[in-house]
Amino acid sequence: MSEDLNIEEIVEEVKAEDIDKSLLLLDELAAIGVIFKLAYKDKKIDFKDGMYGFQLLQRLPQIISVAKSFREIIKEGKDIDPNEAIQIVAKLYEIGQKIEQA
């Protein structure tokens, strides 16, 4: 398998409107994961990490919006077809890469 996995191409090929809120949730989890990884880079969280707390506060409106959609996200998850599953796995891979590279 010498071919590189191109997540962007997979996501473009698989358009799934039914899982848009699930993907938004994953985006927010990715952002939070990156912020926490950066804050914990020195193996502790203290007052020096205040800027990361500020970044979390800036994301609060998006986080609240996603949280309000939680019931819809659960409904979306109940009838995922194979194409939607591929898109979710691709998004999870992308999130893992973002957090690892942070």
Tens digits of residue pLDDT in 36-75: 999 999 988 888 898 999 999 999 999 898 888 888 888 8
- pTM value surpassing 0.75: no
Mean pLDDT over all residues of the chain? 84
- For the chain, give every domain's residue range: 8-101
CB-based contacts of 81, cutoff 8 Å, min separation 6: 16
Percentage of the residues of the chain whose pLDDT score is greater than 90: 41
DSSP string, 9-56: HHHHH---GGGHHHHHHHHHHHHHHHHHHHHTTTS---GGGHHHHHHH
* Residue 1: predicted pLDDT: 45
Q: How many CB atoms lie within 10 A of CB 55?
A: 16
Q: What is the DSSP letter of 4?
A: P
Q: Which amino acid is at 50?
A: G
